[in-house]
Amino acid sequence: MNTKNKKIALTGGYAVGEAMRQINPDVVAMYPITPQTPIIEYFAKQKANGKVKTEVVTVESEHSAMSACIGSSASGARTLTASSSQGIMYMFEVLPVASSMRLPILMAVSNRAISGPINIHGDHSDAMAMRDTGWIQIFAENTQEAYDNTIIGMKLAEKALLPLATNMDGFFVSHSVENLELLEDEEVKGFIGEYSPKQSLFDFDNPKTFGPVALQNSYFEFRKQIQDAMLKTSKMFEEVAEEFEKISKRKYGFVEEYRTEDAGKVIVAMGSVCGTIKETVDRLRDEGKNVGLLKIRLFRPFPYKQVAKALKGVQDIIVMDRNLAFGTKQVLASEIEHATGKKVQSVVYGLGGRDVFEKQIEELFLEEKSPEYLM
């Protein structure tokens, strides 16, 4: 099977666009924003060439993009969109409506810094801003993962009946050309299957009211059912990843443990920086240093158990956040402390697309105390 899979050089944006073509959704809402735009441009071209059956809605804002997605998904249509940064801030109001209605909308996110000041480059501020809106969030390290996560994400969202955001670092992944392996169209089609939700607006014999007023006697329950669904998602993620491995021969866990077995010092991070960390780990390992990386792939629901297990014997933990949480501990650092019950060293890095070099990662590994900011 695997032999006929195509190896190809693509940017992250085009790889995600290609996954979307293979998913061949019923409806896609699109609005441009850097660094997401290559995704929708690629997809629009597929539509123009008759390669997809999709109804494309070229909305006038991201607020309307997500609103159109909600209308479409509630109607029982497989629905996707893509966004970044200010786009996510602009649609913020409707994000929790999607999860409350249990709509499996997939949003491909090219992560970018949020204003102000305005900056178009890659960091995780947008993903962190939406982290409590009831969306499943998966992070990619490279174009291969960005592509795979789109396909895994579509299936997972529909299984969990929750909206899902796939995240890739803007520019670092979205605009970088890398080699990746693509699945055959038929493999993707078979993997995601037909989408036929039990509840939809198009059930005219059993008309439903979506989005009612919920007062003190029911609002709490509506919110709690999102939490219940989110907690059930972990098991589903495992199942979907296993199925995906069967067609792709690529194994994806909640986290990726890179040379952590016997490691005394481990960096925990998400996204493209993990590539740089892996290189550094390899080099330091060659020099006899017992260091490793724990890469977080599934960020919501957060894999506390898997993280605790992976970091069980590790003494020194450094957590890298590509986002700055003001007046509080950093987001990923807090999650890791919560998961392990250990104090971690928290480092904020790469805001607004600032580069991180192996030299800096090496220092993190070798110095006893890491700086609060890698500036």
Partner 1 sequence: MNKTYKKQKFTAATTCAGCPIGVVARTVLNATDDPIVVTNATGCMEVTSTIYPNTSWKVPYIHSVFGNAGATASGIEAAVKSLSKQGKVDEKVKVIAFAGDGGTYDIGFQALSGALERGHDFLYVCYDNGAYMNTGNQRSGATPLGASTQTTPFGKEAFGKQTRRKDIMTIVAGHHVPYAATANIGFLEDFKAKVKKALAIKGPKFILVFSPCVALWKFPPAKTFEVAKLGTETNFWPLYEIENGHYKFSYEPKKRKPIEEFYGTQGRFKHIFKRDDKEALLQKIQKEIDDDFARIKATVESHQKV
69 binds partner 1 (CB under 8 A): yes
Q: Binding segment for partner 1 among 7-15, 68-76, 229-237, 287-295 (CB under 8 A)? A: 68-76
Helix (H, G, I), strand (E, B) or coil at 293: strand
DSSP letter assigned to residue 35? T
The identity of residue 144, as a single letter, is Q
CB atoms within 10 A of CB 372: 11
In whole angstroms, the minimum distance from the beta carbon of 346 to partner 1 comes to 36
Reading the block at residue 91, the tokens are 């649609």
Among the listed residues 11, 3, 18, the one whose alpha carbon sits nearest the alpha carbon of residue 248: 3
Q: Alpha carbon 49 to chain centroid distance?
A: 29
Q: Distance between CA atoms of 330 and 268, rounded to whole angstroms?
A: 13
Which one of 206-214, 247-255, 285-293, 309-317 is the stretch in contact with partner 1 (CB under 8 A)? 206-214
Position 63 contacts partner 1 (CB under 8 A): yes
Could you tell me how far CA 85 lies from the centroid of its own chain?
Answer: 14
Task: Using CB under 8 A, count the residues that bind partner 1.
Answer: 45
- In whole angstroms, how close is the CB of 52 to partner 1 at the nearest point? 10
Residue selected from 11, 22, 36, 72 as contacting partner 1 according to rule CB under 8 A: 72
If one asks whether residue 208 binds partner 1 (CB under 8 A), the answer comes out as yes
Three-state DSSP class for 79?
strand
Of 73, 150, 166, 360, the residue at the interface with partner 1 (CB under 8 A) is 73
Considering only 151-159, 165-173, 215-223, 225-233, which stretch makes contact with partner 1 by CB under 8 A?
215-223
How far is residue 78 from each of residues 5, 58, 105, 194, 372, measured CA to CA in Å? 25, 17, 7, 9, 43
201 binds partner 1 (CB under 8 A): yes
Query: Which DSSP helix (H) or strand (E) runs through 107?
Result: strand 106-111
Q: Which stretch binds partner 1 (CB under 8 A): 48-56, 132-140, 184-192, 281-289?
A: 48-56
Site for partner 1 in 147-176 (CB under 8 A): none
Determine contact, residues 359/334, Cβ cutoff 8 Å.
no
In whole angstroms, what is the distance from residue 75 CA to residue 21 CA? 21
Q: Does 115 bind partner 1 (CB under 8 A)?
A: no
Instruction: Tell whether residue 45 is a contact of partner 1 (CB under 8 A).
Output: no
Structure-token match 């786009």, residue found? 87
**Of 208 and 312, which has the nearer Cβ to partner 1?**
208
Q: Which of residues 74-93 bind partner 1 (CB under 8 A)?
A: 74-77, 79, 93
Minimum CB separation from partner 1 for residue 64, in Å? Answer: 4
Q: Looking at the chain, how many residues does it have? A: 375
Long-range contacts formed by 196-200: CB under 8 A, 24+ apart:
196/76, 197/76, 197/104, 197/158, 197/161, 200/74, 200/75, 200/76
For 115-140, the DSSP string reads SSS---S--SHHHHHTTTSS-EEEE-
Identify the residue among 50, 116, 117, 207 touching partner 1 (CB under 8 A).
207
- In the list 57, 130, 154, 182, the residue contacting partner 1 (rule: CB under 8 A) is 57
The answer to whether residue 44 forms part of the interface with partner 1 (CB under 8 A) is: no
Tell me the per-residue interface mask from 220 to 259 with partner 1, x by CB under 8 A, - otherwise: --x-------------------------------------
Compare residues 97 and 128 and give the one whose CB is closer to partner 1: 97
Residue 24 interacting with partner 1 (CB under 8 A): no
CB of residue 263 vs partner 1: minimum separation in angstroms? 47
With CA atoms as reference, report the closest residue to 252 among 267, 262, 261, 239: 239
Q: Any contact of residue 111 with partner 1 (CB under 8 A)?
A: no
Residues that bind partner 1 (CB under 8 A): 26-27, 29, 53-61, 63-65, 67-77, 79, 93-94, 97, 201-204, 207-215, 218, 222
